């Protein structure tokens, strides 16, 4: 039974559509961050990918389960984004989708499992760990916050808000880090003093989930 505190297909579609709009709004900022320690394409990469995700999901019927929508979104990112972030986010969403299976709706505990699955996919593909100055520095604390929320019985909107806040703190914490993975690592110590673009877009995407769940609740 679908309770008030559940993520269903409509929530996933609302989330990724909201994320596409938010990424579009932050595109130039994300690209500026990447220009400082990468090759200046992160905003355009993510924007191209999420625009395609929005279109792919709009073409789906309401009966498609959340897990299937995430797998479709992941495949779409892999096939439309050239940079590292495409395969990384693509595998994350696909692995999260597979973790959710065919269930029509799910709550905080399953969401925490899906986040862990997504983060494992990113770590498997990119071989990065916490502290390497990557998107993982935002999404790992978010997953921990979600797990804690699940264990304390927090409602979904509050749980996701705490995950997004943890991601934001994690993204800020990348500023003093030296990059050890991805393009920014080529800069060595010169990567210090800049916020990681991938960690920053992860916050944008999690804040979009917070708004999507808030709007549904
Ligand atoms: P590219 O680096 O190929 O130009 P993007 O600019 O789109 O790709 O994405 C850069 C972001 O991808 C980085 O800011 C970082 O957060 C993330 N990233 C890069 N390499 C890795 C990795 N090996 N593991 C996890 N995240 C990574
Ligand atoms: Mg780049």
Q: Tell which atom from ligand 1 comes closest to the C-alpha of 202.
A: 16
In degrees and rounded to multiples of 5, residue 40 shows phi and psi of 70, 35
SS3 7: strand
Q: How far is the CA of 2 from the centre of ligand 2 (A)?
A: 40
Q: Tell which atom from ligand 1 comes closest to the C-alpha of 82.
A: 3
Report the distance separating Cα 52 and Cα 41, nearest Å: 17
pLDDT tens column, 7-41: 999 999 999 999 999 999 999 999 999 999 999 99
Q: Tell which atom from ligand 1 comes closest to the C-alpha of 197.
A: 14
- Encoding tokens for residue 12? 């996933």
Instruction: Tell me the C-alpha to C-alpha distance, in Å, between residue 203 and each of 100, 187, 188, 199, 211.
Output: 22, 24, 24, 7, 12
pTM: 0.97
Q: How far is the CA of 42 from the centre of ligand 2 (A)?
A: 5
pLDDT tens column, 90-122: 999 999 999 999 999 999 999 999 999 999 999
């Amino acid at each position: 039974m679908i309770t008030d505190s559940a993520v269903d297909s409509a929530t996933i579609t609302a989330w990724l559509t909201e994320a596409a709009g938010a990424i579009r709004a932050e595109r130039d900022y994300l690209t500026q961050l990447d220009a400082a320690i990468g090759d200046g394409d992160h905003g355009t990469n993510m924007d191209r990918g999420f625009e395609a995700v929005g279109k792919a999901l709009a073409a789906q019927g309401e009966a498609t389960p959340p897990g299937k929508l995430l797998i479709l979104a992941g495949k779409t990112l892999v096939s439309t984004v050239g940079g590292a972030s495409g395969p990384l986010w693509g595998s994350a969403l696909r692995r999260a989708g597979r973790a959710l299976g065919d269930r029509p709706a799910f709550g905080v505990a399953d969401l925490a499992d899906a986040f862990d699955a997504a983060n494992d996919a990113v770590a498997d593909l990119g071989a990065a760990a916490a502290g390497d100055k990557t998107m993982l520095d935002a999404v790992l604390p978010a997953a921990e916050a979600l797990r804690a929320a699940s264990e304390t019985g927090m409602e979904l909107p509050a749980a996701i808000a705490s995950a997004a806040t943890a991601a934001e703190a994690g993204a800020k914490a990348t500023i003093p880090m030296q990059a050890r993975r991805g393009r920014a690592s080529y800069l060595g110590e010169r990567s210090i003093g800049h916020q990681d673009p991938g960690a920053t877009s992860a916050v944008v995407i999690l804040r979009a989930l917070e708004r999507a769940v808030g709007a549904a609740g």
